[in-house]
Chain A
Amino acid sequence: MNKRRLVLEDGTVMDGIGFGYQGEVNGEMIFNTGMTGYEHVLSDPSYCGQLVVMTSPKISTNGINQSDCVSSYMNGLIVKDYGNSPNRSQDAKDLNSFLLDQQIPGLANIDTRMLTKHIRQFGTLKGSIVDADTPIDMTIKKLKSVKDSSDHVQKVSTQKPYVIPGKGANIVIIDLGMKHSILKELTARDCQVTVVPYNYSADQILQLKPDGILISSGPGNPKNLPETIATIQQLPRHIPVFGIGLGHQVMALALGADTEKMLNGHHGNNYPVKDLLKQKSYMTSQNHLYSVSRNSLRNTDLEITHIGLNEDSIEGLRHKSYSYFSVQFQPEGKPGPEDMHYLYDEFLIKIQHHQAKNEEDVYAEKY
């Protein structure tokens, strides 16, 4: 057995058994409460740089389906137990070899409930997965000296633009760490999609003549993305823009609101959100550590469209006059509920309206 341990910056030490990659690693501690879809968690770039604790006691009972999970950006995975999935299907991998391939350390045999409670109480501490014989003092010292990294999006965003052809609306996705499933939602609706890097300029985007722009979810602090914020500010107001997750935060910043770091953030599949326009609540899948501050909305043209029922958090915004709207949660699920799929439809409806209106305008100008 491979004895390894988790050391937190506040001195907490938990012994476990290492699996996957055996290197030393540190990161921000967060916990995810989802009971299904750990593959989607693994592959979601939003977890870049984090040590993810799964509260579900057994992860990977049936192996990793390669189509759900190609690569992972998280720094480490901490579980109570994981399966070696002896009966996975042929195209599936077991978790241990996946993490090994991805060079991600795993730590098992941890009292994850105890750890979760600790994180809940003390916020997102930094932690490190090390070998059992590594001196604890040294590890803590190291952890304290580690600076919050600000380049997560740079790491996970696409380097070059690419196109997925389609017959429908022409959509540009600004990739801040896009989940593949966001792309799928649009291609399933026949869109022509161009995925562009986080630092693509407004001009470059407009050259693509988009009918609509989607700012994707992604990892880290939105304030680390001044280029993206500037881009959004330079976009013409008439093109519909849809922000998701980090994209929602970046949009809010661009439109004059402020964001703040949360104590624990939201990571899981069971966050109830009320759609204030429909006056109806739904379950959502979320993973974010930052949120838009309510007070900062006062002097903006943004209005709240969605609130979280657990903590009255801001979960969705729209611009009072532009066709801009955004949500903090992941309407595509994967993992998690697909209750708010309709937001993608609404995005396309907005585009249609806008196109129709444009035609009218053109007509009016002509005659």
Chain B
Amino acid sequence: MIKLSVNNRDVEVPEGTSILDAAGELGIKVPTLCHFKLDDFDIENKAGSCRVCVVEVEGRPTLAPSCCTPATDGMKVKTNSVRAINARRSMLDLLLSNHPKDCLTCQRNLDCELQRLAGEMGLHQILFEGEQMEHEVDRANQSIVRDPNKCIMCRRCETACNVMQTVGILSAVDRGFDAVVMPTSKRSLDDTKCTFCGQCVQACPTGALTAVNRSYDVWRGLNHPAKFKVVQTAPAVRVALGEAFGMAPGSVSTGKMVAALRKLGFDRVFDTDFAADLTIMEETTELIGRLTSGENLPILTSCCPGWVKFFEHQFPDLINIPSTAKSPQQMFGAIAKTYYAEKAGIAPDNMLVASVMPCLAKKYEAARDEFAPNGIRDVDIVISTRELANMIKEAGIQFMDLDESDFDNPLGESTGAGVIFGATGGVLEAALRTAADWLSDEPIEDVDFTAVRGLSGIREATVTVAGKDVRVAIASGLGNARNLLEKIQKGEAEYEAIEIMACPGGCINGGGQPSIKGDTSILEKRRQALYVIDGDKAIRKSHENPSIQKLYKEFLGQPGSERAHKLLHTHYTERENA
């Protein structure tokens, strides 16, 4: 332990603690921009690049960046000396001098750390008038808008992309005043192996990386007189949407969310959880098939579009191992525009299917070539949790005052197994519940496979299913996924089933969710909320969902049938690893 003083108050911290954290122990907050820490994931960006967190250290001729200067014994720190305050203001001045002044129309208006800091420091004039950098804005993809003109070179996105996700496309290029973060070869994100996981967007403190906003397209669709408007909501949305309206993290706002969607003008409000149950039917059938034959193991889940794009680029040798089952979002679209359209007597091309997703990659997924059979898209528009929150505000709906409402049927009926898809481990647990039932003579009583739950990056377990040991592994976060896959490639580990989610913690931490601002404890609350919903459900096994049973009986036949394959399965494409 080392002792130091910050603003004349003594504090004792373990060796290696930064001045920033030591000050934090005393409740002294030093402003930061480039510093970014995700405690539970062991991720820290301390580039020391913004120089906003500089403090005075007695005996040092220059100021010290508190985020990346280790505290030492006997150190005397002043966070608010006149020199530190002046330097901090000048630094902010410099950053703003090279930043567009379009805050009012910026995607990150009121949610921008640079803007907030300028407000807190009370800057009232930008003193430096030199030219700003000029870069093209990249809008070529469905998920992410990249505006390098707003980049402050904090390198947080690089840490997310390279260290956390190991996707490895965002990096600093060029030098001096021209230095800026760009995708590989300065190409458009669309021409790279970007997975569109959106963790860079979550890490970005400014408007340099934002989500593609499709809310206007939803408004246009909602105002289309002839269209039949259907919406689906992913499991993780209901445990995070409330945060945008001041609800405590972990609050469940399913009923209010459904009510709000109705008020916005959707004709039917359905649930992606229903499609999650459907996914389990197909995927578990595949799992049991492979377990029985012993071939093509392990099976890898395929619900996560970021993960799918990741292995298409980076693990082409594994391209035949993931389940061929479409993701719940795409299954929903396929069923809505066939089975449900037929039932409701609506022409498929007259139906608008919108999704509310915690994810930015879902926007990309919906636009993939293979998901438009006969030229009709399974899913027409995807918006994120954040976009939905903004639409609700834009419509003047008082979210907190809404009475709770239920999903419509039949595509709104779901089980506890469907809702846990939103957390890492949930898909596998849902599949195990069904597999255990199907392989045993009698239905299982205990459906809680707690060994697969948790937030840690890689989890392994051996689960007993109908008397047989099944070795499973779960990875969330693509960096963890890479580690797991490399272990398998090297023959260091063997499993029968693996679940992978691109975002650390799963969909609850998706690129489209309200920002956790580095507070990973919020994720744990969201995760627990999902399991509470699961526990409260009368039916907790996907195959027991009456609407699913009816769907197979009336339309699909058996899981894995020819029709099921045509509508509910897909294929993967090897892509350039660059």
Chain A complexes with chain B: no
